[in-house]
Chain A
């Protein structure tokens, strides 16, 4: 392990930013946001950024390809430029797990080259969660907030930051920081982890269990009567899908500009009626079906296709953002207690 004094963290960040674009969590008007590092910026003390690190690898909108149309003739223009290396500092355990979930979608054959390119160029420095919050339930999905995954894991102790290189690219980056770090920090990391575990044990959602869900439970839950009451108040606003670090549904749309057609990929939401509507009909006619789709996908369909891994990371963003205070925890509790055998 390597460590640096708390007061030297900005020297270290400055060092990283010499070789790659660096993003750190910074307090903004609407909460903490990953912001490109510049001297003078202060690290946020917030537990979570408002948006997850998904945005870096699967941005809300991106230009896929351009077209020039002249009469009956079409020209296809792949205008992608060379991707630069970038580093994300301070990703939380939940967000880091979400990348594993997205990887299984976008990196499975046929590989999404846009996503793969960003993954190849991005380095994630995760940060153990010093103060997990009452909306946190990552432990439900087997995530340890005191020991996140990532290319490099960082622990913030009282007097020092401790770094542990995990992956090949993480270790390489850490080595480049030898001038601003020194050996040690194991004790600090242990203390931090113990403190975090003490808080985790007291969290109100620590007993939320997912074990009734998972692989091959479609028949058990699809026709559960609880969906009706659960979905009744859903506005279909899609906020939960937009703040979700694992939601991956997208739309492809063309825009006519003065100089040609730009084809974009944009996030979409299974909560919207338009998502599945086609001229032949609407397979999900009411909000009940759309609501059910979102949770069935995270709790049953995704695990069925991905070795039992759930499509939720317990980050709690949807808990704090849903305008009607509906969320996956309520869904799991309600469906879990119902007798659907």
Chain B
């Protein structure tokens, strides 16, 4: 199904389910017109979705590769394409092409390790793919900690899945936090970077970060203070993209193209790039 020969020509996808996650995030389930998964992918890889006449944009595939039936995209409303998608109904066709990017090194580097996922807001979307991949291959990975925060309880993406599936799994500890006190919230209150330090994790874990730049910056700082090495920390990046194949020039940082060489970078690799992201 993957259109290798014609990288810029997409194929058809059908939205078969729309889930309202938060006031500005919806999760879309996409399959081919035949009801199959559009293509195989690795956790952390992305796909180009488009609505002809509106535009095309890159989204991380939030469902796990172990899901063989469909793909899911958690999409925040913040521009032309996403606003259009947010008013789309089940049965709506879109175009899809991919997969793009390197993905997380779940086999090469994460296997056998204790994993610490740290996400803020919509930043959970690309990590959900990895988390569910790890859950599906539980024996291959060590202990899993997930620190996830957002502005309020209503802004936590995938809240139901977190509560009913992740929290009930053996060997997975979920630590939720919201920015400010809220009625009915009995969990932790505070920003993600501070919470991570508070939780005082052992430094033998591999950390996987995704969230707003400011969260990444302070969480990274905190992890380094706790004694983590940059080689233990991974993140995934977001830049404007058009082609997805490292040719249109948009996501170029130094000698790297985020769409092709990224979006996943290890912190020490990221620091070698010019500070322009």
Chain A residues close to B by CB (< 8 Å) = 64-65, 67, 69, 72-74, 76, 78, 105-106, 110-114, 218, 222, 248-256, 261, 263, 265, 268, 270, 275-281, 283-284, 289, 293, 296-297, 300-301, 304-305
Q: Which of A64, A275, A283, A304 contacts B8 (CB 8 A)?
A: A64
CA distance A305 to B252 in the complex (A): 12
**Total A-B Cβ pairs within 8 A:** 120
Question: At the interface, yes or no: B94 with Cβ under 8 Å from chain A?
Answer: yes
Question: At the interface, yes or no: B250 with Cβ under 8 Å from chain A?
Answer: yes
Whether A248 and B239, one on each chain, are in contact in the complex, defined by CB atoms closer than 8 angstroms, is no
Question: At the interface, yes or no: B184 with Cβ under 8 Å from chain A?
Answer: no
Whether B276 and A76, one on each chain, are in contact in the complex, defined by CB atoms closer than 8 angstroms, is no
Q: Which of A250, A263, A301 contacts B252 (CB 8 A)?
A: A301
Whether B255 and A305, one on each chain, are in contact in the complex, defined by CB atoms closer than 8 angstroms, is yes
Whether B248 and A76, one on each chain, are in contact in the complex, defined by CB atoms closer than 8 angstroms, is no
Whether B255 and A276, one on each chain, are in contact in the complex, defined by CB atoms closer than 8 angstroms, is no
Whether A289 and B213, one on each chain, are in contact in the complex, defined by CB atoms closer than 8 angstroms, is no
Q: Which of B9-17, B170-178, B225-233 lines the interface with chain A?
A: B9-17
Q: Looking at B4, B8, B238, which has the most chain A CB atoms within 10 Å of its CB? A: B8
CA distance A291 to B4 in the complex (A): 34
Question: At the interface, yes or no: B6 with Cβ under 8 Å from chain A?
Answer: yes
Q: Looking at B11, B56, B95, B274, which has the most chain A CB atoms within 10 Å of its CB? A: B274
Chain A residues in 8 Å Cβ range of B274 = 218, 222, 296
Q: Which of B47-55, B104-112, B199-207 lines the interface with chain A?
A: B47-55
Contact with A along B90-102 (1 / 0, CB 8 A): 0111110000000
For A281, give the chain B residue with the smallest CB separation.
B213
Chain A residues in 8 Å Cβ range of B6 = 78, 113
Chain B residues close to A by CB (< 8 Å) = 4-12, 50, 52-56, 78-79, 89, 91-95, 212-213, 238-240, 242-243, 245, 247-250, 252-255, 274, 276-277
Q: Which of A250, A289, A304 contacts B242 (CB 8 A)?
A: A250
Q: Which of A69, A74, A218, A255 contacts B254 (CB 8 A)?
A: A218
CB distance from B162 to the nearest CB of A (A): 24
Q: Which of B94, B255, B276 contacts A283 (CB 8 A)?
A: B276
Whether B53 and A261, one on each chain, are in contact in the complex, defined by CB atoms closer than 8 angstroms, is yes
CA distance A178 to B89 in the complex (A): 66
For B242, give the chain A residue with the smallest CB separation.
A252
Whether B276 and A284, one on each chain, are in contact in the complex, defined by CB atoms closer than 8 angstroms, is yes
For A75, give the chain B residue with the smallest CB separation.
B12
For B11, give the chain A residue with the smallest CB separation.
A76
Whether A248 and B52, one on each chain, are in contact in the complex, defined by CB atoms closer than 8 angstroms, is no
For A114, give the chain B residue with the smallest CB separation.
B8
CB distance from B16 to the nearest CB of A (A): 12
CA distance A74 to B253 in the complex (A): 35
Q: Which of B7, B79, B212 contacts A110 (CB 8 A)?
A: B7
Chain B residues in 8 Å Cβ range of A112 = 7-8, 245, 247
Given A76-B12, A251-B242, answer yes or no on A218-B7 (Cβ-Cβ < 8 Å).
Answer: no
CB distance from A287 to the nearest CB of B (A): 14
Chain B residues in 8 Å Cβ range of A106 = 247
Q: Looking at B4, B5, B10, B255, which has the most chain A CB atoms within 10 Å of its CB? A: B255
CA distance A296 to B253 in the complex (A): 10
Given A74-B95, A110-B4, A218-B274, answer yes or no on A293-B12 (Cβ-Cβ < 8 Å).
Answer: no
Q: Looking at B11, B53, B94, B277, which has the most chain A CB atoms within 10 Å of its CB? A: B53
CB distance from A226 to the nearest CB of B (A): 16
Q: Which of B94, B213, B247 contacts A105 (CB 8 A)?
A: B247
Chain A residues in 8 Å Cβ range of B11 = 76
Chain A residues in 8 Å Cβ range of B55 = 253-254
Chain A residues in 8 Å Cβ range of B250 = 249, 268, 275-276
Given A110-B245, A252-B248, answer yes or no on A74-B8 (Cβ-Cβ < 8 Å).
Answer: no
CB distance from A298 to the nearest CB of B (A): 12
Whether B255 and A252, one on each chain, are in contact in the complex, defined by CB atoms closer than 8 angstroms, is no
CA distance A103 to B91 in the complex (A): 41
CB distance from B38 to the nearest CB of A (A): 13
Given A65-B8, A106-B247, answer yes or no on A74-B93 (Cβ-Cβ < 8 Å).
Answer: yes
CB distance from B93 to the nearest CB of A (A): 4
Chain A residues in 8 Å Cβ range of B54 = 254
For A215, give the chain B residue with the smallest CB separation.
B255
For B249, give the chain A residue with the smallest CB separation.
A249
Whether B240 and A278, one on each chain, are in contact in the complex, defined by CB atoms closer than 8 angstroms, is yes
> A-B pairs with the 10 shortest C-beta distances?
A249-B249, A67-B52, A279-B78, A261-B52, A304-B255, A261-B53, A74-B93, A110-B7, A278-B240, A222-B274
Whether B9 and A289, one on each chain, are in contact in the complex, defined by CB atoms closer than 8 angstroms, is no
Q: A65-B9, A74-B12, A106-B247 are in contact. List 12 more A-B contacts (CB 8 A).
A: A72-B93, A78-B6, A218-B255, A249-B248, A250-B248, A252-B8, A253-B55, A261-B52, A278-B238, A280-B78, A293-B252, A301-B252
CA distance A88 to B24 in the complex (A): 54
Given A78-B9, A289-B276, A304-B255, answer yes or no on A276-B248 (Cβ-Cβ < 8 Å).
Answer: no
CB distance from A170 to the nearest CB of B (A): 27
Whether B242 and A76, one on each chain, are in contact in the complex, defined by CB atoms closer than 8 angstroms, is no
For B238, give the chain A residue with the smallest CB separation.
A280
CB distance from B49 to the nearest CB of A (A): 12
For B14, give the chain A residue with the smallest CB separation.
A72
Given A283-B276, A293-B252, answer yes or no on A276-B239 (Cβ-Cβ < 8 Å).
Answer: yes
CB distance from B22 to the nearest CB of A (A): 16
Chain A residues in 8 Å Cβ range of B56 = 252, 254
CA distance A111 to B246 in the complex (A): 11
11 interchain pairs, CB-CB under 8 A: A67-B53, A72-B89, A74-B52, A113-B7, A255-B53, A268-B249, A275-B240, A275-B250, A279-B79, A280-B212, A301-B252
